[in-house]
A and B are shown apart, each in its own frame.
Chain A
């Protein structure tokens, strides 16, 4: 670890402390910039994009230079230390290699894309997305913190989603994008789980710690689940069998995207992870079998399928899958030398495959199709491009003198060497040789079908050489292929050495990058692959027939889409069921839940149901009242369809409850109950008018049984709980209220003192509830057009004598008396039964009487219809009473009281709480009137047409 370098001690000084962070951040900022700059022309956008990539590269240079000395640069920014998640960046040899690939190939792709996209496609959007991706990918390879790595990992999936769906109006693009996002997203989630487990094992998400803790990790009981989860992430991203199928569908993206993301960089993220975590996870049989097995399977599947693809990009996609399998297999073999070969092949494949995709893009661009059955004989139309493509595909086939040959040869050698240890005998070398044969065959097919094989068939466009600068990126790549292929030691060796030693986190094994290693098994395997590949291609016809017959049998995407459709259909069915559940069922569920929870609570303890309190004797009156109550409740249930009758019985229930309050010495409650009853009945009568007088029986018999059972159980439960409560001795804070009512609250009526003083804040809230209810109902009624029936149940017209003389006269006479009563009730409230709430209700009832008796028009002339100001005034008074205590340095709603003596009246008990009670009074009056008047006005509107002529009764 001594080689790790604290950035503070860097020779580049303090100003470079954040350069890794900035290098990653730059493309994200650039994306925004380019999206805005693209209005100023395509070339400008391209220059901006390229400039951003160059800037990132520049920012990385110091750390890159350092990494060649074997120094690992680590830079940190604090983010969420509590969760072990800091922004920590790391550049070592492996990061260096990938950063170079990402930025280098990125620059080529930026240049290429400028020529590739047609004028009607937004170049700015493509560049912005590409930069998003570039930043994300740089983040993946330069992360020191695993969770941060995952964040960038998922960002590559998201930017890939946007890029695949670039041509958003194409169905294939949208589906391909979603498919890729789902598969790689799922992998990302597995990876997150894997990283979390890894972090739990070693106590840190820092790569430095993880890489140094290989022994702890491998010995941990959770090693296998961790490994599997991480591999799921790597395999989905790197399109390993059986998750490979998203990659061919990602080819719906514009070709620069395919070249960049889906062959050179993003799909390498999976193998990057294998390389990155190689010291921590490898070296166990599980690793070898899983990674090696999947790698070889992918290698074979990809190579075989590639041969049969008629789509140019389809062939390249499967070839990419196959090569990714090759790299995976190398890491799976697990020897240091194999890891070196894996890193080498990452470089080589990225280079030649990017070139091939670009060449394919040129051909597609010029021909208007990618179908190799139609694109033939391009040699005559674009010889320059043909040479470039042929060199690159020869590299793909592993032809000597090109870079692909070198790493493939190393792969063959490693496969051969591993065969002995792996106890798989001849299988491994045989499998890789077969894959090699297919690789040669499909490379040959690419060359032969496209550039020779007669004349083109029915092309949409007449092909010709592309613009000069479109070929430049391909030329650069091809030159690299040749240079590396012929002079590996002079070109790629230093980079490979530093990258591979970063992978191994230790000394590099003896390896020799050279063209000629003598006649060894690897060479023979190469020869077999080359000759076999040519033969296979020559004899391809029967194989194609066979393939056509078998194709479609096992389409992974079809399986995936079928699965997804099944899930979504299931979800839709569930949703339809759920949303169709009516109110009654929901209420039943709620009551059932309460029943279950309540029972669980009661039965979960060994408490007896009946308490220790001795029972009072039953007197006749109480018994009668209770029986009446039960009878009335049953009657309401039975008669609930006849609404008016039911309403009257409900009134009876309310009256008996009021009697019960009196019996238990709660006259306040009784008074409140009585006045609430009156208001409720008026309200319900007004509402019932608009409803059909009878409800049809809608419930099925089974449902009635269900509801009945539930009701009996819930009611029984409630009764049992009430019984349990009432039979227990009261042991509560209630005594304190009795003791303090007079001394502390200045009133002898404890209920009132509790309401306006001890718990005045509750009342403060409850009058607000009343006010809100009134306002809400007012707002609701204003939007409502109610259609009222003109006749009653029996078909009779409603009585036209709406304001009978006697009633009107008495109502007017009663008004002052009623108001006086309410004042009386209000004033005595603090000491005797009464109070603002009851007084308010009495006032409201008295006023409502005027409406009932005299009609709306008459009353309106004398009373405001909108009682908003009363409500507001009530709330303000309540508020001010509360706030006033602040003046005395006391908390909200602190009361004061005194007994001032006034002339004539004598001693008057006054408490500040009475002002509060006045607020209560006003809100109650205002709210009750607002509700009832407006509901009543809905009435007068509804039968206006009938009574308009008559007008109200006039004395």
Chain B
């Protein structure tokens, strides 16, 4: 029916899996060889993502029937524009995370690259699956791989942050099962397209169960997305883990946001009868509150990694605010999504770079002597700060502009919140940069009371000498991605528009998966 390779849709899922198994089987190879395998694998994944994106760009929705079983009985993978867009974002991010990890992070514990590829496997599965229970499985893979990655390198702060993360998410998994069970009980299916179709004709006596299931799903996705009030697991986990892991995890909250968006547009989309718009009452208030909480955290954060973690929370708030503003808002949000992901990753990597170069204060906002190549790092931080706060001229501003534009008919509170958040972000990052780069001293002594703040840091790393070219390659790569997103804002925004358009017509998805057959 089309000229794409027959198995293109499953390749994004299988490629990292193959790499992971290969890395596991060849775990005795020298680290350099394993790094090459890992990096090459990500490059292949990028190529696959590009191919997928080009294939679906025209509007075709590819459906892959696993085991050749027809939907809704078998599991299907579905590649639409949204999934392809997110796959490309993920793989590009992963490339620079894996390059950075080659700078020594991957030596701090076992199986880093295996877990990393498994994480990508899970993310790909989450974005591509068209089956609710399979999404649960993808979440399990994500959770367990991310837990392993979070703890990579060890240390009490990581174990503590990781524990909160894993326990809360296990509760979340249980809730997911409840939700899936309720939806199956009330709608009789787990295939996402079929859920949407069944929802349109749900019997009144089953409506309550379906609604309860749908809203429990909201809780699960909100937890994944780190939406207020289910966001407290994030700062401790992200700020204490290794830099490349934190960078990769910039996409993790977006998996939750993706699931919310998918549920919102497909499961409980406009054609879903009594279940249409199930999330409407909850999404916007929580998104705005999350945005506010994230900015408060960023303003108060004592160090850069933690600030970056809070900015991740704020960006989810902004993203879901955008998703609340109709098709144009979804388009703007989808342009914002890769930007915020790359910007957050950049901040995490920079935080680590500063930690390595500021032996006493690490990435805490206190003065220390100039770093080696101070101007370079200062420039990079300035760039990252402009990107993260959404100041002109980078893609963050363009995204903010598009979101505001999309929300011009929505309640004014959205504008106020977004603009205030931008102001707070500017103040916070100006203070941070001012402390890290302007206010430097020649003395190396520690001000009184400082060690208390430094307890959670891992003293082993601070002494590490600045390392090879991978660190800078990864950082410049993310800078390049943000620049590309800025310069190519026209095509990118256009594509985001077409994604939103496709999402606004869920019947296309349903028809692609289930065909014309009426159940």
Q: Nearest chain B CB to A124's CB is how many angstroms away?
A: 10
Q: Are A728 and B206 touching (Cβ within 8 A)? A: yes
Asked whether, in the complex, the Cβ of B208 is within 8 Å of the Cβ of A150, the reply is no
* Residues in B62-108 with C-beta less than 8 Å from chain A: 64-69, 72-75
**How many A residues touch the partner, as a band?**
35 or more
Residue from A162, A190, A721, A879 with most neighbouring chain B CB atoms (10 Å): A721
| B489→A80 contact, CB < 8 A | yes
Given contacts A151-B392, A579-B235, contact A604 B211 (CB under 8 A): yes
Q: Select which of B66, B184, B274, B440 is within 8 A of A892 by beta carbon.
A: B66
B140 touches A (CB below 8 Å):
yes
Chain A nearest CB from B269 CB (Å) reads 17
B18 — which chain A residues lie within 8 A by C-beta?
Answer: 879
How far apart are A177's CB and chain B's nearest CB, in angstroms? 7
Q: Would you call B391 and A81 a contact (CB within 8 A)?
A: no
**Interface 9-residue window, one of A265-273, A461-469, A582-590, A639-647:** A582-590
Known A-B contacts A83-B405, A185-B426, A579-B235; the reply to A876 vs B25 at CB < 8 A is yes
Within 8 A of A (CB), among B255-309: 274, 278, 282, 293, 296-297, 299-301
Does A601 sit within 8 A of B, measured CB to CB? yes
CA–CA, A568 and B298, complex, Å:
10
Within 8 A of B (CB), among A418-457: none
Q: Which of B245-253, B314-322, B490-498 contacts A (4 or more CB under 8 A)?
A: B490-498
Given the interface contacts A79-B490, A151-B393, A759-B74, does A189 sit within 8 Å of B423 by beta carbon? yes
Specify which of B114, B145, B204, B423 is in contact with A185 (CB 8 Å cutoff).
B423
Which residues from A are CB-within-8-Å of B64? 891-892
Taking a contact as CB atoms under 8 Å apart, the answer to whether A761 and B211 are in contact is no
Q: Which residues of B contact A84 (CB under 8 A)?
A: 405
Residues 595-653 (chain A) with a chain B CB within 8 angstroms? 597-609, 611-612
The answer to whether A193 and B75 have CB atoms under 8 Å apart is no
B25, A869: Cβ atoms closer than 8 Å: yes
- Using a CB-CB cutoff of 8 Å, which residues 841-888 of chain A contact chain B? 868-869, 871-873, 875-876, 879, 883, 885-886
Q: Which residues of B contact A890 (CB under 8 A)?
A: 68
B50 at the interface (CB under 8 A from A): no
CA distance A583 to B171 in the complex (A): 12
CB pair B164 A168 closer than 8 Å: no
User: Is the CB–CB distance between A891 and B7 below 8 Å?
Assistant: yes
Residue B214 CB within 8 A of the other chain: yes
Q: At the interface with chain A, which of B51-59, B147-155, B443-451?
A: B147-155
How many residues of B sit at the interface, in one of the four size bands?
A: 35 or more
A583 contacts which of B144, B164, B207, B437 (Cβ < 8 Å)? Answer: B164
Q: Restricting to B422-459, which residues have a CB under 8 Å from any CB of A?
A: 422-423, 426-427, 430-431, 434, 437-440
**Given A733-B72, A775-B115: A200 in contact with B408 (beta carbons within 8 A):** yes
- B11 nearest CB neighbor, chain A only: A892
Report Cα–Cα, A575/B393, bound state, in Å: 31
Contact A775 B110 (CB under 8 A): yes
A778 on the B face (CB < 8 A): yes
Task: Say yes or no: A182 contacts B430, CB within 8 Å.
Answer: yes
B74 contacts across to A, CB distance below 8 A: 758-759
1/0 per residue, CB under 8 A from B, across A770-802: the answer is: 011101101110111000000000000000000
Interface flag for B168 (CB, 8 Å): yes
Residue of chain B at shortest CB distance from A876:
B21
Cα distance A761–B33 in the bound complex, in angstroms: 30
Q: How far is the CA of A151 from the CA of B175 in the complex (A)?
A: 45
User: Distance (Å) between the CB of B155 and the closest chain A CB?
Assistant: 9
Determine if B121 and A768 form an interchain contact, defined as CB atoms under 8 angstroms apart: yes
Residue of B118, B168, B300 touching A575 (CB-CB under 8 A) = B300
Contacts of A530 in B (CB 8 A): none
B24 touches A875 (CB 8 A): yes
Interface residue A694 (Cβ < 8 Å from any Cβ of B): no
Residue B154 contacts which of A196, A581, A583, A783 (CB distance < 8 angstroms)? A783
In the complex, per-residue mask of B177-215: 1 if CB is within 8 Å of any chain A CB, else 0: 010011011101100001000000000111111111111
Chain B residues contacting A81 (CB-CB under 8 Å) are 490, 494
Report the Cα distance A730→B185, complex, angstroms.
7
Provide the residues of chain A in CB contact with B65, threshold 8 Å: 891
**In the complex the two chains form, is B392's CB within 8 Å of A155's CB?**
yes
**A760 at the binding interface (Cβ < 8 Å):** yes
Taking a contact as CB atoms under 8 Å apart, the answer to whether A196 and B489 are in contact is no
- Residues of chain B within 8 A (CB-CB) of A192 are 401, 404, 419
User: A601–B212 contact, CB under 8 A?
Assistant: yes
Residues of A within 8 Å of B392, CB to CB, are 150-155
Cross-chain contact B297 with A575 (CB below 8 angstroms): yes
**A564 at the A/B interface (Cβ < 8 Å)?**
yes
The minimal Cβ–Cβ distance linking A602 to chain B, given in whole angstroms, is: 4
Interface of chain A, helix or strand or loop or mixed? helix
Name the distance in Å between A217's Cβ and chain B's nearest Cβ: 16
- Closest chain A residue to B154, Cβ basis: A783
Q: Bound complex: CA of A594 vs CA of B219, how far in Å? A: 6
- Report the minimum CB–CB distance from A292 to chain B (whole Å): 27
Contact with A along B1-38 (1 / 0, CB 8 A): 00000110010001001101100110100000000000
Q: A118 an interface residue at 8 Å Cβ cutoff?
A: no
A817 interface hit (Cβ, 8 Å): no
| Residue A713, interface by CB 8 Å | no
Interface assignment of B472: CB less than 8 Å from any CB of chain A: no
Give the chain A neighbours of B401 by CB distance below 8 A: 83, 85, 147, 192, 196
Q: Is A682 an interface residue (CB 8 A)?
A: no
Please, how many angstroms separate the alpha-carbon atoms of A78 and B487 in the complex? 11
The complex places the Cα of A891 from the Cα of B6 at a distance, in Å, of 8
Nearest CB of chain B from residue A606's CB, rounded to whole Å? 7
A30 shortest CB reach to chain B, Å: 16
Assess A79 versus B218: contact at CB under 8 Å? Given A572-B300, A721-B212, A725-B182: no
| Contact (Cβ within 8 A) A779 B137 | no
Q: Which one of B225-233, B347-355, B462-470 is at the interface?
A: B225-233
Tell me if A182 and B423 are in contact (CB < 8 A): yes
Q: Check if A169 is an interface residue, CB within 8 A of chain B.
A: yes
B310 to chain A, nearest CB (A): 8
Tell whether, in the assembled complex, residue B67 and residue A893 are in contact, meaning their CB atoms are under 8 Å apart: yes
Give the 9 A-B residue pairs with the shortest CB-CB distance, closest first: A776-B148, A607-B208, A601-B212, A732-B188, A168-B438, A601-B211, A151-B392, A765-B137, A783-B154
Interface residues of B (CB under 8 A from A): 6-7, 10, 14, 17-18, 20-21, 24-25, 27, 64-69, 72-75, 109-111, 114-115, 118, 121-122, 125, 133-134, 137-138, 140-141, 144-145, 147-148, 151-154, 163-164, 167-168, 171-172, 175, 178, 181-182, 184-186, 188-189, 194, 204-216, 218-219, 222-223, 229-230, 232-233, 235-236, 274, 278, 282, 293, 296-297, 299-301, 331, 375, 382, 386, 391-393, 397-398, 401-402, 404-405, 408, 415, 419, 422-423, 426-427, 430-431, 434, 437-440, 489-490, 493-494, 497
For this complex, 14 residue pairs linking A to B, each with C-beta atoms less than 8 Å apart, are A151-B393, A152-B392, A154-B393, A155-B392, A199-B405, A571-B299, A601-B213, A601-B278, A603-B208, A728-B186, A732-B185, A744-B69, A769-B140, A778-B110
Given contacts A575-B296, A875-B17, 18 further A-B contacts (CB under 8 A): A79-B490, A83-B401, A83-B493, A151-B397, A152-B393, A162-B382, A178-B431, A197-B408, A564-B427, A597-B218, A602-B212, A611-B205, A759-B74, A765-B134, A776-B115, A779-B109, A780-B151, A891-B65
> Interface on A for B, CB 8 Å cutoff?
78-85, 125, 147, 150-155, 158, 161-162, 165, 168-169, 171, 173-174, 177-178, 181-182, 185-186, 189-190, 192-193, 196-197, 199-200, 564, 567-568, 570-572, 574-575, 578-579, 581, 583, 586-587, 589-591, 593-594, 597-609, 611-612, 718, 721, 724-725, 728, 730-733, 736-737, 740, 744, 757-762, 765-766, 768-769, 771-773, 775-776, 778-780, 782-784, 868-869, 871-873, 875-876, 879, 883, 885-886, 889-895
